[in-house]
Amino acid sequence: MTQIPASHVSIRRVLAPTDFSPLSEKALRQALAIACRYHSKFYIVHVVSSWEFNVAGYDAAVEAARLAQIDLEKLVSELIKSGALRDVEHESVVAVGDLWEELRRIATRYEIDLIVIGTHGHVGMEKMLMGSVAESVFRYAKRPVLTVGPCVPDTESFSSTRRSILFPTDFSTASVAALPYATSIANEHGAELTLLHVVERTNDESLLSSMDLVGSLKEKLRKLGDDNLESGNAIQVEVVFGQAVQKVVEFSRDQKSDLIVMGLKSPPTFFADRRPWLHASAIISDACCPVLTVRHVSD
């Protein structure tokens, strides 16, 4: 085993959009737990869709915003009474407009470090539902996004005594760039970190060559944790064969992972390789733990 690098990631401001549904409340609990742990300022945001302007007119949109403000204030009041917002600096924001554009604007204005959002799960190969907001945030947000799917338990991810983080990687620059987040969170929570590589290949290779490949890939994984080591927690390395999405999801369930951390490159163009994004989308939809996606810093 290789010890975890002493990386540290600052999460000063956390944003959680809400549509007042049970799913967004689940994501809200995860966001609050992170804000408490990192002493972050917490922003809870509701966006009134601009379709109100087009369908029902300006006055209806204004009224919808007013009612949303009342609902948001009620939600914040309940969180305060429950103690969830105790000692957490917080601010609530209501906006009117295109859902993703407003979230992007707010995230930029307040210099948000992490967006936490819920998704209804997998529909087809690419679609995640919260309208299309979760998909837009996942694809286009330049800051890290924690996505909470329908299989994720209602409890906060690191409430158990055994804490486990899974970091699947294809060794690409974009993927490896997310490793500091995985190591920092592991150190912060005293969690075990597993680096996983999935080999997608046919079965016509000899057993010996497969064993040689596993050995070289495990060594490559170990080298990712060679610098700036911190005593205490440890990194495990694993190599498996099969379909990437299936193996990552299965491994996270068998390991009872509390969190999956993945690095992503820029959103794919029409001619670009879309597989990493399709894989990430499917993992987010099927995983039974939150998934943190981190865009490559050069994007």
Of 294 and 279, more confident:
294
CB 102 within 8 A of CB 141: no
Indicate whether 54 pLDDT > 70: no
CA 10 to chain CA centroid, Å, is 16
First to last CA, the chain: 32
Indicate whether 233 pLDDT > 60: no
* 196 bridge partner residues: 168, 238
Tokens 């399709």 correspond to: 278
Beta strands in 29-97 (DSSP E): 41-49, 90-97
CATH class of 13-148: alpha beta
Rounded distance between C-alpha atoms, residue 45 and residue 17, angstroms: 5
CA 290 to chain CA centroid, Å, is 6
Q: Are the folds of 2-6+158-260 and 13-148 the same?
A: yes
By DSSP bridging, strand 259-264 and strand 291-295 are parallel
pLDDT confidence band for 125 (50 / 70 / 90)? very low
Domain limits, the chain: 2-6+158-260, 13-148
User: Pick from 154, 214, 177: which is nearest to 29 by CA?
Assistant: 154
Quote the percentage of the chain above a pLDDT of 90: 37
* 66: amino acid identity, one letter: R
Of 227 and 20, more confident:
20
Domain boundaries 2-6+158-260, corresponding CATH code: 3.40.50.620
> 130-154: per-residue pLDDT in tens?
445 777 787 778 889 999 988 888 7
Per the prediction, the chain carries an average pLDDT of: 81
Rounded distance between C-alpha atoms, residue 36 and residue 28, angstroms: 12
> 187-210: per-residue pLDDT in tens?
878 888 999 999 986 555 555 557
Cα distances (Å, whole numbers) of residue 166 to 41, 62, 180, 185, 258? 27, 45, 13, 11, 8
Rounded distance between C-alpha atoms, residue 115 and residue 102, angstroms: 13
How many residues in the chain?
Answer: 299
Rounded distance between C-alpha atoms, residue 164 and residue 95, angstroms: 37
Region 125-133: mean pLDDT is: 44
CB 142 within 8 A of CB 299: yes
